[in-house]
Structures are given as C-alpha cells and as structure tokens.
Amino acid sequence: MAASHKNITADEVKRAVENAYQKVRSESGGKNASYIPYLASVDSNLFGISVCLLDGTIISVGDSTHTFGIESVSKVPTAILAMREYGAVDILNKVGADATGLPFNSIMAILLEKDRPSSPLVNAGAIAACSLVEPVGNKEKKWQAIVDNIKELTGAEPEVIEELYASESATDFNNRSIAWLLKDYGRIYDDPDLSLDLYTRQCSLGTTAEALSIMAATIANDGFNPVTNTQVFDPDFAPKVTSLITTVGFYERTGDWLYKSGIPAKSGVGGGVLGVMPGMFGIAAFSPPLDEAGNSVRAQLAIREIMHELELNIFAASRLCICQCRPTQEQS
Ligand code: GLN
C-alpha cells in the first residue's frame, strides 16, 4: 500500500509544543546530575522547548533562551567537525559508528571493542574526535575550530560556563582513564590530556534550547542552516550524523527511547535533548532533572508528546510528513 503522507503546519507544531509544555511542566521525576557539582546546583524547575522548522521559523515555549551546560550534546557538533575535516569514511575507521548498549562513560565498552572507540557520541569516541580536530597539537586553534563549528551550526557564538568547566575539570577522573586507555590502544590522535581538556571544555559550553533546535534543524536540513541561510556541511554527512544519533543518542536507553518516541535524539547531563526529524524540523528541550541513564525526564516526555500529537514517527511510512514549512527549491 502506498504511504499516505501527512502535511503539518507551523500552527499545528505550535499547538503541539504548547500542549506538551503544559502537560509536562508539573512532572517532578528525576534528579539533577550530581557527579559534576555545578550541575547539582542548577534550578530543577527550569523547562523549555524549541522547534526550528526548515524555513527558519522558531517555535518556543518556557525557558528556551536560558543558558545551560551543553554537556554530551556537544558530541554531535564535534562529530560533524571531524567529518568536515577528515570525511565520513575516515571517521568510521578511526572512531566508529556502533552502539555500545552501555553508559556514556563506560570503560567496559572500550575493552569490549578495543579496535575503535565505538562512536563519537560516547565519551571515548568524543575524546577521540577532539583529538582529531585540526590542527593537531595546537590546543587553542583546535578550540577555536570547535567553537566556530558550533557557531555555524547554531548561528550564535557559545561561551564556556567557567564554573562548570572548573567543576568538571576537578572531577573528571573517569574520563582521564578513558583518554589514557585510548592512548594504549592507539585510538587517540593527539596528546591525551590536551584532547581530554578540549572535551571537558566543550561539555562546559553554555547553550539554549533555541540554539540546539537550530543545530538540529541544520542536521535535519542536509547541513543547510535555515536561520543563517548557509550550507554548513556536506549534505552527505547529514544522514550519517543522524545515524550516529539514532544508534547511541540515549546510551543504554537508546532502543527504549526510539521505540517510544520515533525520533533520533541526543541527550546531555545538563538536561538538554536535541532531536532530528530529517526533512521536517529540529527540536530541543531542556530541563535539568535526569533519569538514571542521564537523560532529562521532562525533555523526553515533552518530545514524545509532541511527536505523538503530530502523529510523526520516522519508522512509520504512513506517518512521514511533508512539512508545509519546508522551503521549496526556488525559495531557498
Ligand atoms: N561531561 C560529561 C561527562 O563526560 C558529559 C556526560 C553526558 O552529558 N552524558 O561525564
């Protein structure tokens, strides 16, 4: 049977975002991350949602412009940067694209798959991706490349939350072990301490739900940022990045998440979640309290509500949508 495509409008998205916000805001489950002391002190009531349509329209509700720690969502832009610098094949060979089925900071995952750090979206692969960023050996230029890439993807220059960076640097013992284990396996491509520091710094960057929705929309839009109207990366990388998000975006809970939500998404322990609906929109939600795997409770519920209300699911042929908000070839 031929798939019957749905149309969705900006008004429908707006209604779904507002309904999800109202429904989820009183949810009190989860706890702020506490293994990074700064994150434990963030206001647990904060909650914001943003959707960026592919014509650049942004639909937001709640604390969508509040700055919070990007944490593991930063693994997505740096994976894109490494692809831009090395190409998709090299990233597969040097870092990998496999799910680990284990927590984000798992050392066991490295021991099990010692030929590669599995995926740039888990700690080991993200530290390896930071090691790859060019120019190898030059920490400040590498850092500038990481920041510039995020700026291109979101349209705004991100700034380090210094208190978070200090807090994380003082407690990152597990990540230090990861960096040096990768060295032992020949899977880190610059100095391990330098690579770890870049990773810690990028996790400490401040972001907003709005900025992450623009980044997600850029991925959903084949690398074309719909707000700044610039082609940020090769369109061929977009499905590869989305595949990485799909396989490991919620770590050991990724399968459950996909099964329930129908949208590839990536979380961070700062409470942010970024979701990609290819050809339709980018979505982001933020709220600090997390479940046991480190994924924001309210952000998950909100994104699921929105997908459900819009009757969207990337795995359902009959529920794929032709978004009226997508610019036509002539317009863009
Ligand atoms: N900086 C954090 C860490 O390495 C990021 C983890 C996360 O957001 N899942 O532990």
Please give the chain's pLDDT, 332 residues, in tens: 344 456 789 999 999 999 999 999 999 999 999 999 999 999 999 999 999 999 999 999 999 999 999 999 999 999 999 999 999 999 999 999 999 888 888 888 888 887 788 899 999 999 999 999 999 999 999 999 999 999 999 999 999 999 999 999 999 999 999 999 999 999 999 999 999 999 999 999 999 999 999 999 999 999 999 999 999 999 999 999 999 999 999 999 999 999 999 999 999 999 999 999 999 999 999 999 999 989 999 999 999 999 999 999 999 976 565 555 555 544 44
Angle between helices 75-86 and 139-154 (to 10 degrees): 110
Helix H or strand E segment including 272: strand 272-277
* From 76, 105, 205, mutation site for ligand 1 pocket: most ligand atoms within 8 A of C-beta: 105
First to last CA, the chain: 33
Q: Which atom of ligand 1 is nearest to the CA of 72?
A: 8
Q: What are the residues facing 160 on neighbouring strands?
A: 205
Tell which one of 160, 174, 266, 269 to mutate to probe ligand 1, the residue whose CB is within 8 A of the most ligand atoms: 269
Query: Ligand 1 centre and the CA of 48: distance in Å?
Result: 21
Q: Which residue, by CA, sits nearest to atom 6 of ligand 1?
A: 72
Find the helix or strand (DSSP H, E) in which 231 lies: strand 230-231
- pLDDT value of residue 331: 45
- Neighbour-count burial of 229, counting CB atoms closer than 10 A to its CB (0-12 exposed, 13-18 middle, 19+ buried): exposed
Ligand 1 in contact with 64 (CB < 6 A)? Answer: no
| 318 CA from centroid of ligand 1 (Å) | 36
The residue among 240, 32, 249 whose CA lies nearest residue 122 is 249
Q: Is residue 210 exposed (0-12), middle (13-18) or buried (19+ Cβ within 10 Å)?
A: buried
C-alpha to C-alpha distance for 205 and 157, rounded to whole angstroms: 10
pLDDT at 20: 98
Give, to the nearest 10 degrees, the angle between helix 139-154 and helix 209-220. 80
Ligand 1: does its nearest atom lie under 6 Å from the Cβ of 250?
no
φ, ψ dihedrals at 60, nearest 5°: -135, 155
Residue 32: the pLDDT is 97
Q: Is 204 in the pocket of ligand 1 (CB under 6 A)?
A: no
Q: Tell me the C-alpha to C-alpha distance, in Å, between residue 68 and each of 43, 157, 210, 282.
A: 10, 14, 11, 19
Distance, in Å, from the CA atom of 88 to the CA atom of 132, rounded to the nearest integer, reads 13
Instruction: Compute the distance from residue 71 Cα to the ligand 1 centre, in Å.
Output: 5
Determine if ligand 1 sits within 6 Å of the CB of residue 290.
Answer: no
CA of 327 to the centre of ligand 1 (A): 36
Per-residue pLDDT at 2 = 40
